[in-house]
Chain A
Amino acid sequence: MIYLQLFWEFFKTGLFAVGGGMATLPFLQAIGESTGWYTYTDLMNMLAVSESTPGPIGINMATYVGFTAAGIPGAVIATLGEVTPSIIVILIVAAVLQSFRNNKYVDRAFYGLRPASTGLIGAACVSVILEVLTGVRLALLTGIVKAPVLSGESLLNIPGLLLAAALIVLTNYVPKVKNLHPIVFIGLSAAVGVVFRFAGA
């Protein structure tokens, strides 16, 4: 049964995530919330691994999530689920290529879709930042806000914020460095995490 559910969840993701790999992130968050297959933190780790390994990020994430939920068959089924809508949609579009490109409704729909897709990724971004850098947990589907102040943990992850600030500068403003592949920054952050014991472990 889990296979059927995996296929369906990823079919929906493949059909409604517009704008590439990162656009699947809010969908994957919602799947994690509603099924309990993985946590937020798990998803972040999967994203990091997906960015650092060969293959398109969106496919790597689907495979990873599928594997986490149901092993190798899960990985295969999640990936197939995610690409099935693409295959169907593209085969249809290819058949009517000329009229698709000139269709004003397609054009108009995308006028609304593009900012919405950015908004969804933005929301995922905000909740992920809150979780990693402040410890405030904003549950996507339950609406529960969990502030760590109540449990006595510190509200701000100071070393994390410092690393984030350094990374923002490195990835946006330092010439040459900013064009390096993300894997370089992921590796650097892993090293910083180990040296400064980011998990406190």
Chain B
Amino acid sequence: MESKKGSGGLWSLFWTFAKMGVMTFGGGMAMLPILQREVVDNKGWATEEELTDYYAIGQCTPGIIAVNTATFIGQKCGGMMGGIMATLGVVFPSVVIISILAGLISNFADLAWVKNAFAGIQVCVCVLIFNAVMKLLKKSVVDKRTAVIFLLVLAGGLFLKLSPVWFVIAAALAGILLKNLEAKQA
């Protein structure tokens, strides 16, 4: 297999992922078709099957899906440095664009029409988050026990003075415990 190590390969990883970062609008899901075109069709860095695998694992490991997938493809092409360069590439456009925008917006934040516009946008953000939760519910709440976990964490998240970290740790342990019990009973 062709090795992509060396500085040329690393920069190519950086720029290709930077380009994909610019083209991604929205969540990690929006990135898949772009990854397929660039990584599989244009660069040949991974096969269709490998990409699907990376993407699936990227969704169920901690962190941003786009970053996880980028690290995966990068490390396959250029080892550890490849993984790091691909990730730096995919976040590079965000850092530049958001820093510029954030600076601009803070200058205009006191204008009446900007305030009104953001008040309208906040309503939309509510709906977008609500839609995201509904979509996730279908995938994550698959039986009575997952429904109970969902409701417990929902209530805990609203009323307890706890960092989300603890809910995540507890839920992972609960998952292992419940499935172990089920395996024993079977």
Contacts and interface: CB of A to CB of B under 8 A. Distances in A.
A156 interface: no
Given A63-B99, A171-B131, A132 B64 contact: no
A189 B123 contact: yes
B143 to A, nearest CB: 9
Interface of A: 12, 14-22, 24-27, 30, 41, 44-45, 47-51, 53-60, 63-64, 67-68, 72, 75-76, 79, 82-83, 85-87, 89-91, 93-94, 97, 100-101, 104-129, 132-133, 138, 140-143, 160, 163-164, 167-168, 171-172, 181-183, 185-186, 188-194, 196-199, 201
B117 interface: yes
A63 to B, nearest CB: 4
Of B98, B152, B176, the most chain A CB neighbours within 10 A belong to B98
Interface of B: 21-29, 31, 53, 57-68, 71-72, 75-76, 80, 83-84, 87, 90-91, 93-95, 97-99, 101-103, 105, 112-113, 115-133, 136-137, 139-141, 146-147, 149-161, 163-165, 167-176, 178-180
**6 tightest A-B contacts by CB?**
A193-B120, A112-B175, A123-B157, A119-B153, A116-B171, A55-B94
Contacts of A171: 127-128, 131
Given A56-B90, A94-B72, A111-B175, A193 B121 contact: yes
